């Protein structure tokens, strides 16, 4: 397959006057455009997007009843929305549910479910003061058995992200997770900047949905936000204009001198459907005007796709097009150590998104096969 006619974004910058050649499920070459192949009428051809925080999609949530088939349903829903590789995410749940999801993730990896990149465990080791939409009754400190479970999972899954609060895990536990290969992310925390920095020193390398459910930046108490922006940790952002105001998006991107910023959808079960709501842990989640909330108005995940997030970052002046595209492709792929994703380069997977000049989604290929 040869695709031409669109401007190529290779994961870092634009490459003009070139066509993309694909053999099987891999990119063969970026070659001179000689007029051969399928012509795309303008727009941008970019690597398939990589989403490291996806709670659900296609009408399903990742929960204790999930199996490899449900994970496949969630992955397939997001692939059609432009995220050809995702990290299905379990929010705070019981120890039994967490263990069941890990087993489902291992089964999905063994079955080579398309688009499955590993698991993200967002809780239960958080701070109740920053629970957000998580059930405070299920939030708890990490135990030795929890640690053993996660270390084993990190060795058996393609990738594992564990979001925790320094209040609910010790520096030794953080170090042990990192040693086993888990990516430790700080989130849902009321910690001070000093406490966050101690967790980073122990081995945490990431921050989950920057600004949301965490101690804010103030001039005398920088909090987790200040430590994240000043330090080298990689930071996820929910760029829907609701979770983070565009002013804060612009400030964050400008302030982040070390580490990487990347986009996440924080999507829920309604992604890829026309559902007007769903039930989460016995609580009704309402969908209205691009917003997902509990009945009391608390934001509960996002009604967002990564192409929409890229478009908002550009429209609001938070990032240039090439920077916003990298935040949805190469950068998150690099965060989980996947050099074969998030870039147009010989040998990389032929996961592709075709965007219009307005950055709206116009086509998706996964493993060389067209989905949309």
User: Which whole-number Å values give the CA distances from 101 to 90, 98, 110, 206, 279, in the listed order?
Assistant: 8, 5, 14, 22, 18
In the numeric block, which tokens belong to residue 4? 């031409």
Q: Regarding beta strands 352-355 and 291-293, do their DSSP bridges make them parallel or antiparallel, or are they unpaired?
A: unpaired
Nearest to 21 by CA among 348, 362, 359: 348
Mention every residue, 6+ apart, whose C-beta is less than 8 A from residue 333. 47, 50, 85, 339, 341, 342, 343
Which helix H or strand E contains 292, and what residues bound it?
Answer: strand 291-293
Which helix H or strand E contains 51, and what residues bound it?
Answer: strand 49-54
CA angle (369, 29, 118) in 5-degree steps: 50
Q: Is 61 helix (H, G, I), strand (E, B) or coil?
A: strand
- By the 10 Å C-beta count (0-12 exposed, 13-18 middle, 19+ buried), 198 is classed as middle
Q: Which of 63, 266, 303, 351 is catalytic?
A: 266
Report how far residue 280's alpha carbon sits from residue 302's, in angstroms, rounded to the nearest whole number.
14
Report how far residue 352's alpha carbon sits from residue 46's, in angstroms, rounded to the nearest whole number.
6
Nearest to 101 by CA among 77, 78, 121, 86: 121
Integer-rounded Cα Rg, in Å, for the chain is 20
In the numeric block, which tokens belong to residue 346? 């010989």
Report how far residue 1's alpha carbon sits from residue 16's, in angstroms, rounded to the nearest whole number.
19
- The reply to whether 266 belongs to the active site is yes
Mention every residue, 6+ apart, whose C-beta is less than 8 A from residue 46. 8, 9, 11, 325, 329, 344, 352, 353, 354, 355
What number of helices (H) and strands (E) belong to the chain? 10, 23
Q: What are the catalytic residues? A: 266
């Amino acid at each position: 397959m040869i695709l031409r006619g669109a401007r190529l974004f290779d994961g870092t910058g634009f490459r003009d006057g070139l066509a993309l050649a694909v053999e099987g499920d891999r990119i063969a070459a970026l070659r001179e455009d000689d007029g051969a192949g399928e012509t795309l009428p303008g727009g941008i051809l970019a690597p398939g997007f990589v989403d490291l925080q996806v709670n659900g999609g296609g009408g399903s949530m990742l929960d204790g009843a999930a199996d490899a088939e449900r994970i496949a349903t969630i992955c397939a829903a997001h692939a059609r929305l432009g995220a050809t590789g995702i990290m299905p995410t379990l929010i705070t749940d019981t120890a039994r549910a967490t263990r069941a999801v890990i087993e489902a993730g291992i089964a999905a990896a063994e079955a080579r479910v398309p688009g499955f990149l590993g698991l993200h465990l967002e809780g239960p080791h958080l701070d109740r003061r920053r629970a957000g939409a998580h059930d405070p009754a299920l939030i708890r400190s990490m135990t030795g058995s929890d640690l053993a479970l996660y270390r084993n999972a990190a060795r058996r899954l393609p990738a594992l992200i564990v979001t925790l609060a320094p209040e609910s895990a010790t520096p030794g536990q953080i170090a042990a997770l990192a040693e086993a290969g888990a990516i430790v992310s700080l989130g849902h925390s009321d910690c001070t900047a000093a406490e966050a920095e101690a967790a980073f020193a122990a081995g945490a390398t990431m921050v989950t949905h920057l600004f949301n459910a965490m101690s804010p930046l103030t001039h005398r108490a920088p909090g987790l936000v200040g430590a994240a922006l000043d330090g080298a940790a990689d930071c996820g952002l929910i760029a829907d204009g609701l979770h983070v105001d565009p002013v804060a998006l612009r400030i964050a991107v400008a302030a982040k001198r070390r580490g990487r910023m990347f986009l996440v959808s924080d999507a829920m079960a309604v992604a890829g459907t026309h559902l007007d709501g769903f039930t989460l842990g016995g609580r009704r989640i309402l969908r209205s005007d691009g917003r997902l909330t509990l009945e009391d108005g608390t934001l509960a995940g996002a009604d967002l796709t990564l192409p929409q997030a890229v478009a908002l970052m550009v429209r609001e002046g938070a990032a240039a097009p090439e920077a916003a595209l990298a935040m949805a492709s190469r950068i998150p792929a690099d965060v989980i150590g996947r050099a074969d994703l998030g870039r147009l380069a010989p040998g990389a997977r032929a996961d592709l998104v075709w965007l219009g000049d307005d950055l709206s989604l116009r086509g998706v290929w996964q493993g060389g096969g067209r989905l949309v």
